[in-house]
Amino acid sequence: MITREPRYFPPPTDWRGKMGRQVLTTLRDAGRAMLLLAESVWSLRYMMVRRSRQEILQQMVAGGIRSLGVITVVATFTGMILALQTGIEMRRFGQEVYIGGAVMVSMLREMGPFMTGLILAASVGSAIAAQMGTMVVSEEIAALELMSINPIRFLVMPRLVAMAVMTPLLSFYSCIMGVVGGGVVGMTQLGVPWSAYIDNATRFAENKDLFVGMFKAFLFGIIIVITACHQGFATTQGAVGVGNATRRTVILSFLAILIVGYFVTRLFYV
């Protein structure tokens, strides 16, 4: 059940009560998010139903294709900044020709998935949270449950599938644009020929870098959807609650992306 009556707890009287309340609330929310993820995964067996297929395609367009513009700009300038800052330092040692490898590895391992995750969390995640929250306060979720329609299967599962597919693709695209942007800086400002730049980029990057980066992006997509839907379903207090749910979604998604990204890197590279 998504809809539930709000429970009243008397306010704590001292700092220990406040801290305990915060810890219990955090654990409760984490548990509910994990249950939401588990039920969404269980609902994947319905993803080939016609209505689910249509909704998945719509969410892939809304969350992926419409984000190409901002991802293109951010990824290109990220690659340009990486190439410029790395090239300036490597020029001191006469090694600026190797900036291609530095940019490629940085974009594949970390910057591509990371920047893509932040962009989608701010744009798609906030939109999902606002939509779910509006449906909760307008009692549309309760109406779905009264009609014996599972909101998780109907709303969460298609968005989860769409983001799990589109986030790695967008991350790979951002890596390409970042490498292209770095190559432009290398040619125009550092005197590195395009052929030498691409040769070093492909020489130092490994298949492992690509696979780990795509795995990170896959996890980031799941994190964004589950966080957004959980915060949206927990919305109270009308329009103010929708705004708070949207804000919490962006903050929690950013934090989760940073933490999960670190531990994935720690797992595969150390």
The answer to whether residue 4 scores a pLDDT higher than 80 is: no
Is 42 domain-assigned? no
The answer to whether residue 139 scores a pLDDT higher than 90 is: no
Q: How many structural domains are present in the chain?
A: 1
The answer to whether residue 7 scores a pLDDT higher than 80 is: no
CA distance 102 to 53: 40
Q: What pLDDT does 6 receive? A: 56
Structure tokens at 246: 């949207």
CB-based contact 219:95 (threshold 8 Å):
no
Question: Torsion angle of alpha carbons 164, 166, 168, 172, nearest 10°?
Answer: 180
Q: What pLDDT does 78 receive? A: 93
Q: Find the domain containing 183 and state its range.
A: 60-269
List the single range of 7-11, 81-85, 211-215, 260-264 with lowest mean pLDDT.
Answer: 7-11
Nearest to 205 by CA among 94, 95, 109, 89: 109
Structure tokens at 70: 């901002």
Q: For the segment 142-201, what is each residue's pLDDT rounded down to a tens digit?
A: 888 888 888 888 899 999 999 999 999 999 999 999 999 999 999 998 888 898 899 988
How does residue 8 score in pLDDT terms, banded at 50, 70 and 90? low
CA distance 253 to 69: 21
Give the number of other Cβ atoms within 10 Å of residue 106's Cβ.
22
Is 3 domain-assigned? no
Give how far the C-alpha of residue 112 lies from the chain's centroid of Cα atoms, to the nearest Å.
Answer: 11
- Better-scored residue on pLDDT, 17 or 3: 17
The answer to whether residue 5 scores a pLDDT higher than 70 is: no
CB-based contact 224:121 (threshold 8 Å):
yes
Q: For the segment 28-75, what is each residue's pLDDT rounded down to a tens digit?
A: 888 888 998 998 889 888 888 888 888 899 999 988 888 899 999 999
The answer to whether residue 255 scores a pLDDT higher than 90 is: yes
CA distance 240 to 123: 19
Q: For the segment 216-243, what is each residue's pLDDT rounded down to a tens digit?
A: 999 999 999 999 999 998 888 778 888 8
- Whole-structure pTM value: 0.89
- Better-scored residue on pLDDT, 5 or 175: 175
CA distance 194 to 200: 10
Q: How many helices (H) and strands (E) does the chain have?
A: 12, 0
Please tell me whether residue 130 adopts helix, strand or coil conformation.
helix
Q: What pLDDT does 2 receive? A: 59
Structure tokens at 38: 């588990």
Q: Three-state SS string across 47-76, please?
A: CCCHHHHHHHHHHHHHHCHHHHHHHHHHHH
Please tell me whether residue 93 adopts helix, strand or coil conformation.
coil
Is 99 domain-assigned? yes
Residue located via tokens 């797992």: 267
Is 47 domain-assigned? no
Residue located via tokens 């790395």: 86
Q: What pLDDT does 148 receive? A: 82
Is 118 domain-assigned? yes
